[in-house]
Amino acid sequence: MGIAPDRGYDSDLDNPNVAGVHAVTARILDGKALAQQVRQEITAEVALLKAQRHVTPGLTVVLVGDNPASHVYVRNKQNACNAAGMSGQTLRLPADVTPASLIETVESLNADPSVHGILVQLPLPSHIDERAVLTRIDPLKDVDGFHPANVGLLASGSPRFVPCTPLGVRELLLNGGVETRGAHVVVLGRSQIVGKPMALLLLQRGPGGDATVTVCHTGTRDPASFARQADILIAAMGQPEKVNADWIKPGAVVIDVGMHKRADGTLCGDVHYPSVAEVASAITPVPGGVGPMTVAMLLRNTLQAAQRS
């Protein structure tokens, strides 16, 4: 189960799931509206940090190559960063950059006190070992939450920086009044970006945690049978509209992390929205669900990195 997360597309244009197009009984968990609220709060905190400590949170994104989707994601991140009053820059490197040169770039950002957050946009070209690069980012500037030190802190129950998509999902659940304590949550997908950290986050003590978690993956036999047991189903499989109504327990909450483009150019997630929305009690749309929250959580992580600096 690969992962194609909805990272930052927050337009309703060409959205086949907007109200009025299909019969929907589920309550919509509106990530776009919540992200706007979170970003307003972050903007106020950034202004306060500037006034009190003369510190401007700085995020630098390293973009390697010409992947069109990556360019869109990076542009959205940079625009959001600037809108919040932060300092945002993008370092563009050629697709044939050597691993040593890329690591040298990361090390220079580690040493730059004006840079509080470093994000290396994935995927990287095939000749570069992603893990080797990510482990060279200063854990205190790892606002993506992928460094082994930050992964370990999350696993041990003392999270510092958590990957942004799982954080966004938790915010949606908390804001939507969805009780996770004692709930059976099934996560479809075990990626380092979403599936694994999502499961670890749901296992934390306190609000948005204390769940009983099942993780399904490519080795799982009949994942639909597990999905049908879920009080909360989080789909991060990377398979367009794979999850249909037959996978859903009536009244379950469904979070769709996927983002795909159909042949006609319209967008969809891992969930077949029209059928699932008639069975679930609450559901996230694609676009306008998890994606905007991912960007908002990146800003929050960057702000926290600056506050700790």
Q: Are strands 58-64 and 117-120 parallel, antiparallel or unpaired?
A: parallel
Cα 173 from Cα 281, distance rounded (Å): 13
Distance CA 122, CA 255 (A): 23
> Which sign does the torsion angle of CA 178, 184, 188, 193 carry?
positive
Q: Which of 138, 144, 231, 270 is catalytic?
A: 144
User: Looking up tokens 């625009």, which residue turns up?
Assistant: 79
**Maximum distance among all Cα pairs of the chain, rounded to whole angstroms:** 56
Backbone angles phi and psi of 87, in degrees to 5: -95, 120
- Could you give the C-alpha distances from 103 to 120, 134, 217, 297, in angstroms and in order? 10, 9, 32, 25
From 10, 78, 121, 242, the catalytic residue: 121
Catalytic-residue membership of 37? no
β pairing state of 212-216 and 232-235: unpaired
Residue 154 and residue 170: Cα distance in Å, rounded? Answer: 14
Note the Cα 241 to chain centre separation in Å: 19
The yes-or-no answer on residue 121 being catalytic is yes
Q: Helices in the chain by DSSP H: which ranges?
A: 31-53, 68-83, 99-110, 130-134, 148-156, 164-175, 195-202, 223-227, 273-276, 290-308
- 77 catalytically annotated: yes
Residues 6+ apart with CB under 8 A from 182: 210, 211, 212
CB 64, CB 102: distance < 8 Å: yes
Q: What share of the chain is helix, strand, coil (3-state, %, to 5)?
A: 40, 15, 45
Q: Is the dihedral of CA 209, 118, 135, 132 positive or negative?
A: positive
Catalytic residue (one of 77, 141, 242, 249): 77
Catalytic residues: 77, 121, 144
